[in-house]
Structure formats: C-alpha cells, structure tokens
Amino acid sequence: MSKKKIIPIGPYHPLQEEPEFFKLIVEGEKVVELEIEIGYNHRGIEKLAENKHWDQVTFVVERICGICSTSHPFAYVLAVEDLLGMQPPQRASYIRMIIDELQRIHSHLLWLGLAGHFIGYNTIWMWAWKAREPILDLFELISGNRQHYAMMKIGGVRKDIDPQNYQAIRKTIKELYPTLKMFEKVVKDDPVIMKRTKGVGVLTKEYAISFGALGPTARASGVNIDVRKDDPYALYDKIDWSVVVLTDGDIYAKILLRILECLESSSIILKCLESLDRIPKGEIETEVFDIPAGEGIGRVEAPRGECFHYVRSDGTNRPVRHKIRAPSFMNVATNLVTVCGYTISDAAITLAAVDPCYCCTERGAVFSKSGKKILTGEELIKLSIEKTEKLKRLYQKQNKFNFQNKNI
Amino acid sequence: MKFILYFLFLFFSVSMGGIGWWLERKLTARFQYRVGPPWYQNFIDIMKLFIKETIIPQGASRILFILSPLVSLSSSLIVALILITDYFFKQNFIADIIVIIYLLIIPSLFLILGAFSSANPLALVGAIRETKQLIAYEFVFIVSLVIVIIKTGGSLFLSEIIERQMLGNIYFKSFSGLIAFILAFFYLQAKLGIIPFDTPEAEQEIASGVMIEYSGALLGFWKISKLLLYFSLPLFIIFLFLPGKFVDIIIKYFLLILLITVVKNINPRMRIKDVLEFFWFFLFPLGLIGIFLAINGY
C-alpha cells in the first residue's frame, strides 16, 4: 500500500478566504506533490466590460478585487489614456499615486495580519489590522469610501484631495511609521517566527524568473522587477524612491519585504504631498469626449505585482475587447515549487505567502474528467446551452412521469 | 449525602473550567484589542451543541466514534472527583498519583482513536500529530512528577504531597521544584492544546484536525471533557507544586490561566517537529538536572 495521502486544502477551507483547491499529496507530514485547481470564482468581468460604456467599465473593474480595488481601474484608465495618447493633469497624477500607495500599505498590512493568522499568531493578526484601520479612515476622508474608492476616471480623477486633508494624511502616515518599525522589529527578533519562516518555502531566483513571478513574490527572490521603475506610469519617475529587493526567497523575506515596502510607500506619499503643495490648485481632469478606434495597454504595480489591462476600441462607446491579467495568475503557480518538500504546517503559510487574490485571477475553465482538457469560450457557451437544454428535457420528462423517477 | 456533595463538586469543576476557559478567551481578546465574549459564552455554546444534529460520517467506525467522547468525558470526571475528594476529605488510596496520570492520558488516547475512526484525512493528520505530541509531553510530565515524588520521600499519595507542602516548604520555592513546575506548565499548555502546541487542531492547516468530523452532542461531550480538563489539570499542578487554602488555590488557578494566555498570545504555532525537539532536547535535559538537584536536596 502506498503511504501517500491526499490532504485537500479547499474548495472551502478556513485557510483560504476564497474558493480554490489545492491538493496536497503527502507522505506523513511531508508534502511531495501539489495540484492546483482554480476556477471556482469566475465572474466573467471581461465579457461584462464589453457590454458597458467606457466610463462604466471603470466601476466594473473596480469590483474585481476588494483589496487592491484601485489597481484595476488605474490600469484600465491608463490603457484608455494610452489609446487616446493623452496625459492627465499633473495634479491628477499625484492624487492617483497617493491613492495607489495608500492602498499598497493597506493591502500589505492586511496580508501581514493574515500571515500571522496562518502561522497561528493571532496577536499579530489583530494588531496589524488595527494599524490598518487609520488608513481605511483616510480613504473614507479622501474618497468617501473605505473600500472601492472610485477615484479613477478616464482623463484624471473624480475627486480632488482637499488641502485641509493633507495634514490628516501626513499625521496618519507619521503615526503609522513607528508601528511599521515595530512590526519590522518583531519579525526580525522573534525566534519562533524566525523558526517558522526562515528557509521555508524558498523560491529561488531561477524559478521566480521561469515562472514569471511578479511583485513582492519575485522581489523577495532577488528579481528586481517593479513596473513603477521599469515602465513608470503616472509621475513615479519624477520623485525619488527605491525598489526594495531581498534575496532569500523564503517566507521570512516575503514578510520583511512587504513591511519594508510599506515604509517605502509612506515616504512616497509624503513626497507626493510635498509636490501637491508646490503645484497650484487647478484642473484634476482632462475631459474626454470621443474614444477613437485603436488599442491601448495599461500597466500598474498592484500590491501583488504587475496588473495588466488591454483595451481595444472600434470607435463606439464601449470597448470591443478588454483583457485583464492580474498578478496572482502568475504568482499562484510558483506554489508548485515552494510547497513541495516542506511539511503541511509550512504549506499553510507558503500557499498564502504569494498573497493570492483569486477573484482577480480567475478564468472560466472547464476540465474534463481526466482533468486535462481546457475548453475555449465558444465551447463553453455551447456547453452552457446544451446543459440548459438537458435540464429542460429532464424537467419535461419528470413532469411527464409525475416525478416518479426520483433518482434523477 | 456524600453523593450529593460529589455531584456538587463536579458541577463546581465544570463551572470553574468554563470560567477559566472564558478568562483565557477574554484575556486573549483584550490582548488583541477585541471585546471578547461574555462570561457564559462557553456554557451556551455547549448547550447549543446538544440541540444540534449529530452527524456520523459514512465509512466511520460507529462504535469507536461514539464511544470516544463518552470515555474521555468519564475519565476526566473521575480525575476531577479524585482531586477534589483528595483535597477535602483526605480520602485516598494507594498510589492515586499513578491512577491520575493514567486517567489523564485516556482523553488524549480516545481523542486519537476518535479521530482515526472518523475516516477523514485531515483528522488522520491531526491524530498522528496528537500521537507524537502525546509521547513528547507525557514523558516530560512524568519526569516532573518524579522530582515531586523524590522531594516527598517516595510517597505516591497525593494527599501526602499536599500535606507536606501545607506544613511549610512549598516545592515551587526550591530549585528542583521550580524546574519541575516549568516542565509541568508546558505539559499543561500542550495537554490543553493551546498555541504554541495546538498542532493537532491547527485550524489554518488541517481545519481543527482531530475534531473535524464531530458535531452535535458528541462534540458537546468533547467540550465538557475539555472544560473539566481546563479545571482539573491546573488544579493537579497547583496541588503538586503550590497548594494552600481553598481561596488561595482558586486565585492561583486564575493566575495559571493568565500565564497560559500570555504564552499563547506571544507565540505562533510550532511545527510538530519543533514541538518534539522542544520537549525532548530542551525540557527533558532540564528535567534530568531537576532530578539531580532533588536527590541532592535542593
């Protein structure tokens, strides 16, 4: 008899906030193989976007993800602006950057809390989320919402940041600084956290490159990749900041990297505010009347990595094609190498260490019973119609026999 | 008459266990900037379980699955009873300490059996972890008991251990006694399945592992059994190391719960390998030093 056992993580499991399926094949406590099945959370956003007009799409893509809820609209408006060949006003760009960086801090703190939860350190969980709360309040102050800020607009931003609120932002960021420093110290000092995370779930630089890992996952493995530096959007090239890169590639590096990025983000926000002070209060958007035929791409460094949007227009008031690639799509696959060879206890934190966001990444995919074949869009529609027909026939049949056949 | 008294004692043990558990939850909540549950939370949780449906999974070994919580509950009831009669009536029998050790192992053993019988891979992993952990912590606890027995001059009567300390020299104050207490404390933490030693139930890894298939009344029996352990285990350790008057003991019980909670909240969960290493390669040598000190009268 084989000693191998299957430990399922998912489709519904306390480890994961979203439905997805990891099949851990274990020998005792050691994981020898991993199978990843995603596709439980597909919502057809791309298709939906093709049925909305240009302005509405901004709101639709905002709903892709609740955590990085400004990255998608940001990438989308950049794509449309690329199509139009225009630049938003300077002031709008700075406001966009502030929102983007605030979101990065909030997302990383949320992840830090979850990481603590996954290694059973619930105190870190609650403390990190408490530190995140003022950031959400800031969002409420700036945009009116704690999540889904609706700040992005083709040609600019929807709302200006009131100069009176600059002080509130500065104060919150400065108060957050010692907390972030404390978390950095905790992670560096605590021997048990060290033991749980150091040298666990290592993603080597070679694997990170070959899997096409993005964002913090890649940067923790020593790959210097950041859209903000490599292909600067907004005004990231105008201010002085640096990309945080660590080389170990283990969970410890991933935790530390995210805390350091939070610190870096805070300094970016403060610099943006300085620039906002310098430039006169003025236009926050360039009005856009017509969107000509053409295509454009937008790339944004979301908290999890590069978020990519592509739009194509045929001159009408809605996109003919809208393509989204979220960073988790690339990052989740790295679990194939990081989980194997470690214990089940490590699997929990390793699976979470890429900061997976399945609702961002899901695609419609139908597997045949052998788990091999993936169907295309047309086939899916055909399948769906067939299924409806089948159900109709089934109910007709049941009606005919007066529900005698209960086994159906 | 005595039976009514016994019954009252058991009721007292269950309530104290519930209060102790609540204290742990409430303090944890306060450590984490949360509000925490009201004092009766554990009791209504358990009451609720008894009106819920009990599901026995397909493929489970029915008899073992149902029997495990009941056996566990009865053995923890007996432990509570022995401890209390020992303290109040000085009613004892030969080597009652050994009996208590055996009875304390039974809940863990049947937890393992219940998990094995529930035909669930996650429960299986939990049961394997519990087995490993059982070997680790029971071993260390016996070393700690050996120190106590040496200090009592080879007596295996619990009441004699208590009496000797009531006369003046509490073991906690001596070097070897302190070492034995440290061992017993970590035993307590591991036996109650509290972070950092909650590997068998690890919610985020194996979804409460050993308990995963239990529901309704059967889970309720497990919970009552745990409530009793929440009181009788700390009580046993207080009897062994720092007994005193009744009120003192209750205060010490709450202090012990506080200590458990602090350790819980400043540590992440350990890996099972680290747990074994901690117990065998750190606490066991410490215990040997303790035995050496105890023999030499420190």
Domain boundaries, chain B: 2-295
Asked whether the beta carbons of residue B121 and residue A119 sit closer than 8 angstroms, the reply is no
The CATH number of residue A231's host domain is 1.10.645.10
In B104-133, the residues whose Cβ lies within 8 Å of chain A are 121-122, 124-125, 128-129
Domain of A165 in residue numbering reads as: 45-356
Which residues does residue A323 pair with via DSSP β-bridges, in sequence order?
A310
Nearest CA in chain B to A29: B125
Residues A250 and A384 in one domain: no
Cis, peptide link before residue B196, omega less than 30° from 0? yes
A192 close to B (CB below 8 A)? yes
Predicted confidence (pLDDT) per residue in A110-143, tens digit? 888 888 888 888 888 888 888 888 888 788 778 7
Instruction: Name the residue in chain A with its Cα closest to that of B269.
Output: A120
Amino acid at position A38, single letter: I
Residue A30 lies in a domain: no
For residues A292 and A297, give the distance between their C-alpha atoms in angstroms, rounded to a whole number: 15
Pairing state between β A156-157 and A30-37: unpaired
- Reference A150, options A234, A52, A70, A81; nearest CA is A70
For residues A382 and A329, membership in a common domain is answered with no
Residue A31 main-chain phi, psi, to 5 deg:
-85, 125
* d(C-alpha A205, C-alpha A212), whole Å: 10
**Cα dihedral angle (A229, A235, A240, A241), rounded to 10 degrees?**
-50
Q: Find the farthest-apart pair of alpha carbons in chain A and give their distance in angstroms, rounded.
A: 79
B125·A7 Cβ contact <8 A: yes
User: Is A20 inside a domain boundary?
Assistant: no
Chain B residues in contact with A122 (beta carbon < 8 A): 28, 32, 195, 265
Binary contact (A127, B32; C-beta < 8 A): yes
Chain B interface includes A111 (CB < 8 A): no
In whole angstroms, how far apart are CA B248 and each of A262, B84, B89, B166, B259? 49, 15, 18, 12, 16
Task: Examine the pLDDT at A55 and tell me if it is beyond 80.
Answer: yes
3-state helix, strand, coil in chain A (%, to 5): 50, 15, 35
Q: From the CA of B142, how many Å to the nearest CA of chain A?
A: 26
> So what's the pLDDT on residue A406?
45
Token pair belonging to B264: 């819980």
Q: Do A94 and A201 belong to one domain? A: yes
Q: Does A246 fall in a domain?
A: yes
What token pair was written down for A380?
Answer: 């899916």
Q: What is the mean pLDDT of residues A334-346?
A: 84
Residues A231 and A281 placed together within one structural domain of the fold: yes
Q: What's the pLDDT score for residue A360?
A: 63
Q: Are residues A229 and A110 part of one domain?
A: yes
How many domains are contained in chain A?
2
The tens digit of pLDDT for each residue in B130-176 reads 888 888 888 888 888 888 888 877 777 777 777 777 777 777 777 88
Return the higher-pLDDT residue of A2 and A384.
A384
Q: Write down the pTM of the prediction.
A: 0.81
A122 in contact with B, Cβ within 8 Å: yes
Q: Residue A348: closest CA among chain B residues belongs to which residue?
A: B205
User: Each residue of B31-79: pLDDT tens digit?
Assistant: 888 888 888 888 898 999 999 888 888 888 888 888 889 999 999 888 8
Kindly report the nearest CA distance between residue B177 and chain A, in angstroms.
27
- State how far Cα A266 lies from the chain centre: 20
Which of the two residues, B169 and A376, has the higher pLDDT score?
B169
Four-point Cα dihedral A13, B128, B274, A28, nearest 10 = -80
C-alpha span between B41 and B51 (Å, rounded): 16
Q: Is the peptide bond before B57 cis (omega within 30 degrees of 0)?
A: no
Rounded Cα distance, A148 and A198, in Å = 35
Shared-domain flag, residues A406 and A352: no
A6 part of contact set with chain B, CB < 8 Å:
yes
The verdict on residue A79 lying in a domain is: yes
Q: Do B28 and A122 touch (CB under 8 A)?
A: yes
- Region of poorest pLDDT, from A261-275, A368-382, B184-198: A368-382
Mean of pLDDT values over A335-346? 84
Interval B248-268: pLDDT, tens: 888 988 999 999 999 988 888
pLDDT of A404 > 60? The answer is: no
pLDDT digits (tens, 9 = 90+) for A64-107: 888 888 888 999 999 998 888 888 888 888 888 888 899 999 99
Whether residue A174 is found in the same domain as residue A269: yes
- Contact criterion met (CB < 8 Å) for A345 and B272: yes
In this structure, the answer to whether residues A406 and A349 fall within a common structural domain is no
Question: Which of A176-190, A222-236, B89-103, B107-121 has the weakest average pLDDT?
Answer: B89-103
Same domain, A387 and A344: no
Q: Which pLDDT value is given to residue A391?
A: 63
Chain A contact for B217 (CB, 8 A cutoff): no
Tell me whether residues A193 and B268 touch, CB distance under 8 A: yes
pLDDT (0 to 100) of residue A407: 46
Q: Do A7 and B121 touch (CB under 8 A)?
A: yes
Are the beta carbons of B204 and A5 separated by less than 8 Å?
Answer: no
* Average pLDDT of the segment spanning B174-188: 86
- Using an 8 Å Cβ cutoff, are B108 and B210 in contact? no
Selected residue of A29, A200, A339, A342 to mutate for chain B interface (largest B Cβ count, 10 A): A29
* pLDDT tens readout for residues B189-219: 988 888 888 877 777 777 777 888 888 888 9
Distance CA A249, CA A159 (A): 40
Stretch A163-189: mean pLDDT: 85
> Quick one: A328 and A379 in the same domain?
no
pLDDT given at position A369: 57
Chain A interface, mutation test: which of B205, B208, B212, B264, most A Cβ atoms within 10 Å? Answer: B205
Confidence of residue A405 (pLDDT cuts 50, 70, 90): very low
End-to-end CA distance of chain A: 36
User: Strand order of the sheet with strand A4-9?
Assistant: A4-9, A21-27, A30-37
Q: Which of A252, A268, A141, A270 lies closest to A202 in space, CA to CA?
A: A252
**According to the model, what pLDDT value does residue B240 have?**
84
Contact B207 A29 (CB under 8 A): no
CB-based contact, B277 to chain A, within 8 Å: no
Q: Are residues A389 and A251 in the same domain?
A: no
Band (pLDDT 50/70/90 cuts) for residue A363 is: low
Is A225 in the same domain as A347? yes
Question: What per-residue confidence (pLDDT) applies to B148?
Answer: 85
Alpha-carbon span A215 to A329, nearest angstrom: 12
Between CA A142 and CA A95 the distance in angstroms is 10
Which among A8, A121, A344 is the nearest to B205, CB-wise? A344
| Span A183-208, pLDDT tens digits | 888 888 888 888 888 888 888 888 88
The answer to whether A319 and A46 are in contact (CB under 8 A) is no
Mean pLDDT score of chain B, rounded to an integer?
A: 85
Q: CB distance B32–A121 less than 8 Å?
A: no
Classify A20 in phi/psi space as left (phi over 0), alpha (psi -120 to 50) or beta: beta
Residue A376: its pLDDT value, please? 67
